[in-house]
């Protein structure tokens, strides 16, 4: 925004370049630490790239703080997954809601970039397995949307598109799926279709 209160101008939390620029350009380690602490008020998917950037910081304290904060995120998610798996094992018939919750937490691990390589492939596989199991219960368009996003992350654009189209047929807001259709078109090198999908997105997120 063009307006800034005068007393905030020297704060690293309000620099024009944002928190990533503070981490890359601020010479004072305390400013970089303050930038990391500010990520606690951000959604996890926005905070994670900033924390990963800080893992390359020349100052030990900055790197250790970033690692600790990422580890806390991963531990919290894994605790949720473990609790849900225990519930799943104790139920004679697994509830679709438990599978849905597991799918979302596995997806969160992947979406935040907390897994790489073979581990990431395994997590995406688990997320897809549970979302498909959840779809055996009452239909929820959000599950089709989640399945589509997981399949996109796996590079399976054809099946991803099928899930998104199914969600569209079942009444999901077209603006919610438009960016994913655009991404699929880009992944498949159908570049001429991308503007059409992007034009369907709400003005607030363009």
pLDDT at 167: 93
Classify residue 8 by its DSSP letter.
G
Report how far residue 147's alpha carbon sits from residue 163's, in angstroms, rounded to the nearest whole number: 7
pLDDT at 50: 84
Report how far residue 134's alpha carbon sits from residue 98's, in angstroms, rounded to the nearest whole number: 8
Classify residue 59 by its DSSP letter.
S
**Which residue is associated with the tokens 């090198």?**
189
Look up residue 36 and give its two tokens: 């990391």
Classify residue 112 by its DSSP letter.
T
pLDDT at 145: 95
The dihedrals phi and psi of 197, each to the nearest 5 degrees, come to -70, -40
**Which residue is associated with the tokens 């607030």?**
204
Classify residue 50 by its DSSP letter.
H
3-state secondary structure of 56: coil
Look up residue 70 and give its two tokens: 């990422």
* pTM of this structure: 0.78
3-state helix, strand, coil in the chain (%, to 5): 75, 0, 25
Report how far residue 160's alpha carbon sits from residue 120's, in angstroms, rounded to the nearest whole number: 18
pLDDT at 201: 76
pLDDT at 92: 62
Question: Could you tell me how far CA 57 lies from the centroid of its own chain?
Answer: 24
- Residue-by-residue pLDDT tens, the chain, 206 positions: 333 333 334 444 443 348 777 777 778 888 888 888 888 887 777 788 888 888 888 888 888 999 898 888 889 999 999 999 998 888 767 688 899 999 999 999 998 888 888 999 999 999 999 999 998 777 789 999 999 999 999 999 999 999 999 999 998 988 899 999 999 999 999 999 998 888 877 665 55
DSSP-assigned letters across all residues of 75-87? HHHHHHHHHHHHH
pLDDT at 204: 52
């Amino acid at each position: 925004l063009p307006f800034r209160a005068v007393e905030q101008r020297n704060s690293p939390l309000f620099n024009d370049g944002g928190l990533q620029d503070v981490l890359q350009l601020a010479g004072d380690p305390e400013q970089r630490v303050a930038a990391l602490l500010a990520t606690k008020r951000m959604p996890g998917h926005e905070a994670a790239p900033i924390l990963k950037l800080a893992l390359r910081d020349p100052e030990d304290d900055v790197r250790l703080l970033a690692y600790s904060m990422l580890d806390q995120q991963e531990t919290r998610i894994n605790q949720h997954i473990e609790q849900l798996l225990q519930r799943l094992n104790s139920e004679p018939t697994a509830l679709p809601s438990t599978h849905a919750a597991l799918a979302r937490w596995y997806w969160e691990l992947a979406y935040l970039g907390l897994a790489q390589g073979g581990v990431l492939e395994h997590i995406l596989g688990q997320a897809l397995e549970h979302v498909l199991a959840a779809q055996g219960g009452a239909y929820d368009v959000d599950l089709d949307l989640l399945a589509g996003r997981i399949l996109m992350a796996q590079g399976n654009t054809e099946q991803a598109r099928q899930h998104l189209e199914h969600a569209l047929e079942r009444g999901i807001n077209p603006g919610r799926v438009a960016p994913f259709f655009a991404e699929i078109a880009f992944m498949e090198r159908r570049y001429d279709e991308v503007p059409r999908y992007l034009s369907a997105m709400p003005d607030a997120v363009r």
